[in-house]
Amino acid sequence: PSDTVQQVADMISSADRITVFTGAGMSAESGIATFRSGDDGLWGRFDPMMLASVDGWEADPHLVWGWYAWRIGQLRDVVPNAGHRALADLAQHKVVDVVTQNVDDLHERAGSTVVSHLHGSLTATRCSVCRAPYDGPVARPYHEQIDGDDLDSLRLAPPTCARCGGDVRPGVVWFGEMLPEREWASAVDSFDACDLVLVVGTSGIVYPAAGLPDRAAGRGVPIIEVNPDESALSGLATHSIRSTAASALPLLARVIDG
Ligand code: APR
């Protein structure tokens, strides 16, 4: 292994509490598109203000619901990748807190304990009026892939809340919305208690989430970045592994196991 990988493996071996901060790149090798990287980046194809903001929801709830119903349906087609599994294995020997910006459930399905879903979760669908959790069926608009930028065929009326009859909405945090307090507080606790941070698969440009690693860096905690490309957090990283989650994380685990 490269000396960076060896050094990072040694740092992981001697750490007591590791906070892993993940973004969309963590799930890329499971087949879930990222937002701003690669040629299938979602915000390169669609307008986030239309699909991931309160205004977009209020302007066209059928389009927004159809889009999330498609993404909720996609969860049935994807599985955790070797990177998710390596993080879950690491937690057998260390305290590993996962703080994720992702709304998929792949960390949990790999066996990780996710201490914080900063941007909510596709599995937390709720009523947009009384906030009651919705665990009814989520019909998937007929569409294997979203061709080009044709979203019209995704339109679907959201289910109605059994309790109050309100429209059901995705359990994710939209641009302009506050992050859930409990998720934020446990993320802050994790970054304030750890002695090593792994930053995996995030462009590091969406705040307040992107500001969390700085809390640990401010305490002199080493920040390791795993990302094939530079990111806005590369400047904070003490070591960068320019590789993907599904190849770098298992490699680190193998080097640690010697
Ligand atoms: N392994 C590791 N990193 C990868 C991989 C991979 N296989 N593929 C891509 N990446 C990196 C990209 O280089 C990029 O830096 O993952 C990052 C993905 O960045 P974004 O698409 O911006 O995703 P993210 O940082 O999670 O976005 C943050 O923005 O739209 C909002 O709420 C949404 O949580 C999301 C937030």
203 in a known ligand binding site: yes
Catalytically annotated residue among 117, 119, 143, 239 = 119
Q: Name residues of the chain where pLDDT drops below 50.
A: none
Q: Is the CB of 103 under 6 A from ligand 1?
A: no
Strand partners, 99: 21, 116
pLDDT on residue 141: 84
Q: Is the pTM of the predicted complex or chain greater than 0.90?
A: yes
User: What residue owns the CA closest to ligand 1's atom 30?
Assistant: 35
Distance 19 CA to ligand 1 centre (A): 17
Q: Is the CB of 107 under 6 A from ligand 1?
A: no
pLDDT on residue 174: 98
DSSP-assigned states of every residue in 7-57: HHHHHHHH-SEEEEEE-THHHHTTT---SSSSTT-HHHHS-HHHHSBHHHH
Residues 230, 38: contact at Cβ < 8 Å? Answer: no
pLDDT on residue 2: 82
pLDDT on residue 143: 64
45 in a known ligand binding site: no
State how beta strands 17-22 and 196-200 pair: parallel
Residues 27, 83: contact at Cβ < 8 Å? Answer: no
CB-facing half-sphere around the CA of 130: CA atoms within 13 A: 10
Q: Is the CB of 120 under 6 A from ligand 1?
A: no
Q: Is the CB of 231 under 6 A from ligand 1?
A: yes
Q: Is the CB of 229 under 6 A from ligand 1?
A: yes
171 in a known ligand binding site: no
Q: Is the CB of 24 under 6 A from ligand 1?
A: yes
pLDDT on residue 157: 95
Q: Is the CB of 170 under 6 A from ligand 1?
A: no
Tokens representing 213 are 């690693």
Q: Probe ligand 1: pick from 22, 37, 49, max atoms within 8 Å of CB?
A: 37
Residues 54, 44: contact at Cβ < 8 Å? Answer: no
Q: Which residues contact 222 (CB under 8 A, 6 or more apart)?
A: 11, 196, 197, 238, 239
Distance 101 CA to ligand 1 centre (A): 9
ipTM value: 0.99
- Asked if 143 is an active-site residue, the reply is no
b/e map 58-71, b = 16+ CB within 10 Å: eebbebbbbbbbbb
Residue 250 CA to residue 235 CA, distance in Å, equals 24
pLDDT on residue 151: 84
Residue 34 CA to residue 222 CA, distance in Å, equals 26
Tokens representing 172 are 């994710």
For ligand 1, what atom is nearest to the CA of residue 203?
Answer: 15
Strand partners, 117: 100
For ligand 1, what atom is nearest to the CA of residue 226?
Answer: 2
Distance 238 CA to ligand 1 centre (A): 20
Q: Which residues contact 139 (CB under 8 A, 6 or more apart)?
A: 69, 156
Q: What is the pLDDT of residues 26-35, one digit of tens each?
A: 999 999 999 9
In one letter, which amino acid is 66? G
104 in a known ligand binding site: yes
